[in-house]
Amino acid sequence: MEKRTLGTDLSVSTIGLGCMGMSEFYGPRDDSESLRVLARAVELGIDFFDTADMYGPHHNEELIGSFLSRNKSQVRIATKFGIVRNPGEYKRSLDNGASYARHACEASLRRLGVEQIDLYYVHRINSEQPIEETIDGLARLVKAGKIARIGLCEVSAETLRRAHAVHPITAVQTEYSLWTRDVEHEVLPTCRELGIGFVPYSPLGRGFLTGRFQDTADLNDGDFRNNLPRFAEGAIGSNRRIADVITEHAAQKGCSPAQLSLAWLLSKGPDIVPIPGTKRLRYLEENAAAVQITLSVEEQQQLEMSISSLPVVGERYTSEGMKGVNA
């Protein structure tokens, strides 16, 4: 798989792997299957794994640490801190303080079994804690060799500029897909102005853009999408028209809706590295094959025009989930 560069020096595979669903949020976990997915990802040339200390909590980093202990592959690890959860609870608080960052980083290093984290994100921005102080604390972790690079998640363009003035930011991770394009207004242009890479999470709209979900009955008990406004009864039916359009264009292109959605993101610039998440081998292989699909400018425009007339019903998150978003 070809490489792309985030920031000035982080060379990673064109598509990364979001590992969150291997631990929670999308139904029961299966560590044996997840380890097979991680191994197959490496075989396919994927060398960029994305995790966070709050996935599980902690289980996801431990899972990746277990994989790394048995597989001495050159995988780049991105993890995050800043969302504080108690085991068994979704309720969370935010802490971006330097002291907490140092404590969280040390714990992540132990769970991952690595000496240095390749890319360390602030998972959500706490607007009550100055971003300059947060980045200064992370810069000290860089100097100490604990982390190699700093990233930010779901950040506003203004906060990104303030952060980057303290220490270079390597990447911004924010939701970006055919049904979530807010970043194109300010955040993505700012990243490009400052030379910062962009990592879209949920590039398949949490699976919705693949056409797999026709109504709420398709969601299992315990699936957190049951609590997301876009998947709610009354919204999912209207939003299905977007997935249907993508399916039609994919059929014309001779690929799957998931592959078309990823190919569209990859066509938006060489500084974009999407991280579709999966815990299933067949979806991993399907997603990885998207790098072989090239969209012409005309195909991009036709796809975007077909979707632009279809409004998305529902916000991305509930009010609880919006904590620290666009801060």
pLDDT in single tens digits along all 327 residues of the chain: 999 999 999 999 999 999 999 999 898 899 999 999 999 999 999 999 999 999 999 999 999 999 999 987 789 999 999 999 987 777 889 999 999 999 999 999 999 999 999 999 999 999 999 999 999 999 999 999 999 999 999 999 999 999 999 999 999 999 999 999 999 999 999 999 999 999 999 999 999 999 988 787 788 887 889 999 999 988 999 999 999 999 999 999 999 999 999 999 999 999 999 999 999 999 999 999 999 999 999 999 999 999 999 999 999 998 877 878 888
pLDDT for 320 equals 76
Task: Please say whether the beta carbons of 289 and 160 come within 8 A.
Answer: no
Task: Please say whether the beta carbons of 261 and 177 come within 8 A.
Answer: yes
Domains of the chain with CATH codes: 3-209+268-293 (3.20.20.100)
- DSSP-derived secondary structure letter, 180: B
pLDDT for 218 equals 85
Question: Which residue type sits at 18?
Answer: G
Other beta carbons less than 10 A from residue 196's beta carbon: 24
- The residues, ordered by sequence, that sit 6+ positions from 188 with a Cβ below 8 Å of its Cβ are 176, 198
Which is it for strands 10-13 and 3-6: parallel, antiparallel or unpaired? Answer: antiparallel
pLDDT for 220 equals 84
Report, as residue numbers or ranges, the catalytic residues: 55
User: At 157, is the secondary structure helix, strand, or coil?
Assistant: helix
Which of 237, 248, 255, 245 has its CA nearest to residue 291?
Answer: 255
For residue 327, the surrounding DSSP H or E stretch is none
Residue keyed to tokens 């202990």: 69
pLDDT for 222 equals 79
Q: Degrees (nearest 5) of the Cα angle 143, 149, 150?
A: 105
pLDDT for 259 equals 98
pLDDT for 72 equals 74
- DSSP-derived secondary structure letter, 229: G
Q: How far, in whole angstroms, is CA 157 from its chain's centroid?
A: 18
Task: Please say whether the beta carbons of 283 and 209 come within 8 A.
Answer: no
